[in-house]
Amino acid sequence: MSLKRRRTHAPKPALDDDVICERCSSGDSPAELLLCDKCDRGYHLFCLRPILPSVPKGSWLCPSCSHSDTKKPKSFPLVQTKIIDFFRIKRSSEETLTSIQDVRKKRKRGSSVALLKKKKRKLLPFVPTEDPKRRLEQMASLATALMATKAVFSNELTYIPGMAPRSANCPALESGGMQVLSKEDTETLNLCRTMMKRGECPPLMVVFDPLEGFTVEADRFIRDLTIITEYVGDVDFLKNRENDDGDSMMTLLSASNPSQTLVICPDKRSNIARFINGINNHTPEGKKKQNLKCVRFDVNGECRVLLIANRDISKGERLYYDYNGYEHEYPTEHFV
């Protein structure tokens, strides 16, 4: 399993004992009571909409002062050329796209038969929406979320000078060992990546919810064990990110030597994985919402993190996974 990381710096203290939350009118949980740097009014992290998982680094403005309470993200233009440029889609002929679709369908049928013959269940490629216009809408929804969060699209792990080098991403360093992605499942993952490069995206829509912020919905039926996406971003050592302001860091390598532990930081470069929300794993209702699992694999000698359907997912259903693997360090008790 993999997990999201939280930063560890202390919350900003309240100025006096009389500070209360503007939303719930309570002064309880002072450690989670955040003060606006402009008006000095207080708000609990869990009373804000969307909820803040942890205290922001540096200055913070409340919804009234930032005018963000009802601010709707500006939609990315639904223009094919702009979407192609934004996602750096490789232009290809209809024949090439058709051949890829045929390969996908053949592989899907073959996988179904194989599941009956073998105990080990194989991963399935996602099945893009057939309607090209709908696919444009799906990609535009992701572009809207990325632009609103000031990130650019990437479907790769990136290695930036001054951060962790590619050579540090070594599965052999994983504490307890890392499972190896089979040759067949690796082919399925590569097929998904090829489809993405050609504009055949997973059948997902990013929507903005006033309670949860950006979140992801299935735009068609998705089968159990389907590869949804890979978690990507800049790779860095955890020791360099302990006081980072990002709340979406993902464990990539949990090494026996803590100084070698790696995390994925999607704040500057990311894909749709960044916007898939976590469950409240403190309640039975929250746990029932989980429909994805987050798993680390050794893929051709490199650690990778995949989000995979752990049951059938209906069209319109929102996607959720457990932000906590075995370390249980991400605060989810106030998640919706």
* Domain containing residue 148: CATH number: 2.170.270.10
Residue 75, domain member (yes or no) = no
pLDDT at 334 over 70: no
pLDDT in tens, 177-197: 999 999 999 999 999 999 999
pLDDT, position 176: 92
pLDDT at 169: 98
The answer on 136 and 49 residing in a single domain is: no
| Per-residue confidence (pLDDT) for residue 146, from 0 to 100 | 95
Q: Is residue 89 part of a domain?
A: no
What is the band of 304 on the pLDDT scale with cuts at 50, 70, 90? very high
Average pLDDT, the chain: 81
Q: Do 185 and 275 share a domain, yes or no?
A: yes
| Residue 42 included in any domain | yes
185 and 308 within one domain: yes
Mark whether 275 and 131 lie in a shared domain: yes
Residue 74 lies in a domain: no
| pLDDT above 70 for 246 | no
CB 262 within 8 A of CB 241: no
In this prediction, residues 134-154 reach a mean pLDDT of: 95
Same domain for 34 and 154? no
Q: Is 3 contained in some domain?
A: no
More confident residue, 230 or 54: 230
Tokens matching residue 33: 């009571």
pLDDT number for residue 26: 85
Is 248 a member of any domain? yes
Residue 241 lies in a domain: yes
Least confident range of 4-13, 70-79, 234-243, 274-283: 4-13
Residue 260 lies in a domain: yes
Please, which pLDDT band fits residue 61 given cuts at 50, 70 and 90? confident
Are 55 and 185 within one domain? no
Do 57 and 157 fall within a single domain? no
CA distance 141 to 78: 9
**11 or 91: whose pLDDT is higher?**
91
**pLDDT of amino acid 21:** 87
**Whether residues 168 and 25 fall in one domain:** no
Q: What is the pLDDT of residue 77?
A: 87
Q: Are both 63 and 202 inside the same structural domain?
A: no
Task: Give the count of domains, the chain.
Answer: 2
**Whole-Å CA distances, 79 to 10, 82, 85, 150:** 45, 5, 10, 20
- Non-local CB neighbours of 323 within 8 Å, separated by 6+ positions: 3, 4, 278, 279, 281, 330, 332
Q: Is the pLDDT of residue 7 over 70?
A: no
In a shared domain, residues 213 and 306: yes
Q: Do residue 48 and residue 145 come from a single domain?
A: no
- Check residues 71 and 292 and name the one with the higher pLDDT: 292
Question: Do residue 158 and residue 54 come from a single domain?
Answer: no
CATH number at residue 63: 3.30.40.10
Q: Is a pLDDT exceeding 50 seen at residue 70?
A: no
For the stretch 72-86, pLDDT in tens is 678 888 888 899 999
Can you tell me the mean pLDDT for 208-230?
92
Q: Averaging pLDDT over each range in 127-141, 203-217, 233-247, which range is the top one?
A: 127-141
Residue 163: closest CA among 269, 57, 86: 269
Distance CA 17, CA 23 (A): 17
Instruction: Provide the residue range defining the domain that includes 208.
Output: 80-84+122-321
Give the per-residue pLDDT at 308.
96
